[in-house]
Amino acid sequence: MLYSALINVMVKAARRAGRNLKRDLGEIEHLQVSLKGPANFVSKADKRAEEMLYEDLAKARPGYGFIGEEGGTREGADKTHAWIVDPLDGTTNFLHGIPQFAISIGLAREGTVIAGVIYNPANDELYIAERGKGAFLNDQRLRVAGRRRLDECVVACGLPHIGRGDHQLALKEMAALQNKVAGFRRFGAASLDLAFVAAGRIDGYWERNLSPWDIAAGQIMVREAGGTISDIGGRDDALKTGHVVCGNEFVHGELVKILGPLG
């Protein structure tokens, strides 16, 4: 498949950092792991991946801003463009040797995400999306699942870390949905949850208290695959609030109807 110059830059950066993460995965015991808060791990692999991504992206597009989970915000001369990067989404999975983690790169122009790349180096699955041009998994065009009965749907969620978010609310949400859907999943990497919705592997996903780097690339992936994504009240500001719900138009609507009033 012929990528645009922009997607090429993002894919190259993701693949290089991904090769390194894969190497690190084989040597988890040598990675210095520290805690940012209770059950909130960060390792040398996260930090090294972010440095590599910054290096490649800044070299290809000098002046763009850079918002990364581990290094904070780096301003650029170009105030209209910013990379929004999670160098390792799913750190807890990674550190347990669970091959469900990804590099997530979004590019925002004047606050709107115009391109996204999500790459899982463990299984070499590469998701790309560009505004108006569709979403793809390893060159296959993506389309969200078409189910229109909640009791046939598999829905994923995220749960808050120890000491963060509203645990009671998370349980209330699951209780409200558990006898209405065909199945729940908790995979542990928000960017891939969104990519799975785009790929039609799961029908819906919701999570609260995410950060822009968890959502940016996945949001455009879902939209370009024909899905609907919003905050849990149904407003188009998931990226700002960090609360996200998505699915096809029907599933999204049902989830907003059930979850919206709880929060």
Task: Pick out the residues of the known binding site.
Answer: 69, 86, 88-89, 214
Asked if 90 interacts with ligand IPD (CB under 6 A), we say yes
Asked if 238 interacts with ligand IPD (CB under 6 A), we say no
* Contact with ligand IPD (CB under 6 A) among 82, 115, 190, 255: 190
- Show the 3-state SS of 180-236: CCCEEECCCCHHHHHHHHHCCCCCEEEECCCCHHHHHHHHHHHHHCCCEEECCCCCC
CB of 190 to ligand IPD, least distance (A): 3
- Judged by CB under 6 A, the number of residues near ligand IPD is 13
* Burial of 254 per CB tally in 10 Å (0-12, 13-18, 19+): buried
Binding site for Ca ion (CB under 5 A): 69, 86, 88-89, 214
CB of 124 to ligand IPD, least distance (A): 20
Q: What's the token pair of residue 235?
A: 């407003």
C-alpha span between 77 and 102 (Å, rounded): 29
Binding site, annotated residues for Mg(2+): 69, 86, 88-89, 214
CB of 140 to ligand IPD, least distance (A): 24
Q: What's the token pair of residue 74?
A: 């780096």
CB of 122 to Ca ion, least distance (A): 15
Q: What's the token pair of residue 127?
A: 């998701």
CB of 49 to ligand IPD, least distance (A): 11
CB closer to ligand IPD, 128 vs 210: 210
* Contact with ligand IPD (CB under 6 A) among 24, 50, 70, 89: 89
CB closer to ligand IPD, 116 vs 158: 158
Asked if 86 interacts with ligand IPD (CB under 6 A), we say yes
C-alpha span between 78 and 94 (Å, rounded): 34
β-strand partners of 245? 206, 230
Binding mask 62-81 for ligand IPD (x = CB under 6 A): -------x------------
Residue whose structure tokens are 């800044």: 58
Q: Which of 216, 210, 260 is nearest to 234 (CA)?
A: 260
| Structural element, H or E, at residue 247 | strand 244-247
CB of 20 to ligand IPD, least distance (A): 16
CB closer to Ca ion, 126 vs 217: 217
128-157 burial, b if ≥16 CB within 10 A, otherwise e?
A: bbbeeeebbbeeeebbbbebeebeebbbbb
CB closer to ligand IPD, 147 vs 207: 207
Residues that bind ligand IPD (CB under 6 A): 69, 86, 89-92, 158, 188-190, 207, 210, 214
